[in-house]
Amino acid sequence: MNAKSQIREILWTRFHAENENRLKTAELNHDILKDVTRRYGMNLNDIKSAARGKMTLCKMCRVCNGETCRGLTPGPGGKGSGQTFVRNVEKLKDITLNMRVLHNDDNVDCTLEFFGQTLKAPIFAAPIAKIKANYGTSFSEIEYLEALSAGCATAGLLPFYGDGVQSEFFDLPLEFIKKHKGFGVPTIKPWINEITFEKIMRANEVSPVAIAMDVDAAGLISLKQTSTPIAFKHLNDLLEIRSKINGPFIIKGVMTVKDAELAILAHADAIIVSNHGGRVMDDGISTIEVLSEIASFVAHRALILTDGGYRSGYDVFKALACGADGVLVGRPFSHAAIGGNAEGVALYAKQLIAELEDAMRMTGCFTLKDIQRTNINLHF
Ligand SMILES: Cc1cc2nc3c(=O)[nH]c(=O)nc-3n(C[C@H](O)[C@H](O)[C@H](O)COP(=O)(O)O)c2cc1C
């Protein structure tokens, strides 16, 4: 360890000791944290321990795998037994990479052209809403949106934003998308059409990169317990929704070839192979298990994104090898925001990108197009 990092570690240890109680009671003053991180720098372990002290519902496990928070929804966990969330993470670990190093190239390019934007990598922050209620934190929705939008902009990754019953959970993200000149994707819940159309109109006004709808949210317990009507969507609804969206339309929550077919018929520009991080149906299959089949069926008629259990750039590589064009990462981005504000988000994003580049270099893939099914082994 060099002298600079030794000093940094000593200062961070002192900072944690001095602020232990406030960290535990989630009363940490973000300005202090910002100041310390600005002056001394931080690493992902610092961010994790800061986040751990600021959340009561999420235990900030070593690996975010859905075990400790089984059934905790509302909260950060998966629905019911929590098995779908757990399976998302487990199945990714049943994939290995094939090392191929007999080449003389060190330069990899993982930039992605995405609906007119050049992104640093095919990695996105997944839409997550209701930070306070879901994590048991005093970190506010505005602080979260500020951290996510600024951190992603710094790292060159595109953030998706969530939605909720109370209007602020949709309106606040739109303000941040506007502030970042359209750089963001609002994700509208499948409300009854009347409410949906009104939200689309407001989203169109900020000219976002795309507008998404998480059609699987019809199964969310937290929405079922409210009086705001949500609805399952079928082809006619989707066609009407599509006709009202000015830019690209993304359908999130596709887990079967049949639904992918309907999404294509509804002229979706992209689909997200997603089970909502295991929050909408118990005992579901993992996203990585269905990804290849859906990608083969879609055959480039729409972009394919996916999410659920992706924690590292190596995990992202596995999805790309199964035919995805990009991967959304959910819970870990919230941890990074809660523990380290915009700096935390940017740091985590940069780690994901560095890991993806490493996976590409070590498998002899120099562009995203080079990443193929033959670069991995599925052990399921
Ligand atoms: C606390 C929490 C809130 C979420 N809110 C939304 C939301 O508002 N809209 C949405 O489309 N998905 C929402 N999701 C699902 C994520 O976008 C994403 O599909 C999922 O978290 C991916 O799995 P991962 O967290 O294991 O990476 C939420 C997930 C969590 C954990």
ipTM of model: 0.99
SS (H, E, C) 65-111: CCCCCCCCCCCCCCCCCCHHHHHHHHHHHCEEECCCCCCCCCCCECC
Which contiguous run of DSSP H or E holds residue 326? strand 326-329
Q: Are 65 and 84 in contact (CB under 8 A)?
A: no
Tokens 């509302």, residue located: 74
| Pairwise CA distance, residues 141 & 156, whole Å | 22
Contact of 268 with 251, CB cutoff 8 Å: yes
Q: Does any ligand 1 atom lie closer than 6 A to the CB of residue 310?
A: yes
What pLDDT, in 10s, does the model give residues 188-215? 999 999 999 999 999 999 999 999 999 9
Q: Does 8 contact ligand 1 (Cβ within 6 A)?
A: no
Q: Ligand 1 test: best mutation among 288, 310, 331, most atoms within 8 Å of CB?
A: 331
User: pLDDT for 303-336, tens place per residue?
Assistant: 999 999 999 999 999 999 999 999 999 999 999 9
Check: CB of residue 239 under 8 Å from CB of residue 47. no
Q: Is residue 287 part of a domain?
A: yes
Segment 108-134 mean pLDDT: 98
Same domain for 177 and 261, yes or no, is yes
Residues 31 and 117 in one domain: no
Give the range of the structural domain holding residue 235, as residue numbers without chain letter. 112-378
Model confidence at 27, in pLDDT bands (50, 70, 90)?
Answer: very low
Host H or E run for residue 253: strand 249-254
DSSP 216: G
Distance from residue 125's CA to the centre of ligand 1 (Å): 10
Residue 165 clears pLDDT 90, i.e. is over it: yes
Q: Is residue 346 part of a domain?
A: yes
Q: Which band of pLDDT confidence, cut at 50, 70 and 90, is reported for residue 26? A: very low
Question: Are 27 and 171 contained in the same domain?
Answer: no
Strand partners, 249: 211
> Total structural domains in the chain?
2
Within-domain flag for 70 = no
Same domain, 255 and 171: yes
Q: Pairing mode, if any, of strands 112-114 and 117-119?
A: antiparallel
Please check whether residue 248 lies inside any domain of the structure. Answer: yes
Q: Are 304 and 327 in contact (CB under 8 A)?
A: no
Cα dist from 184 to 115, 158, 237, 370, whole Å = 11, 6, 24, 28
User: Is the Cβ atom of 357 under 6 angstroms away from ligand 1?
Assistant: no
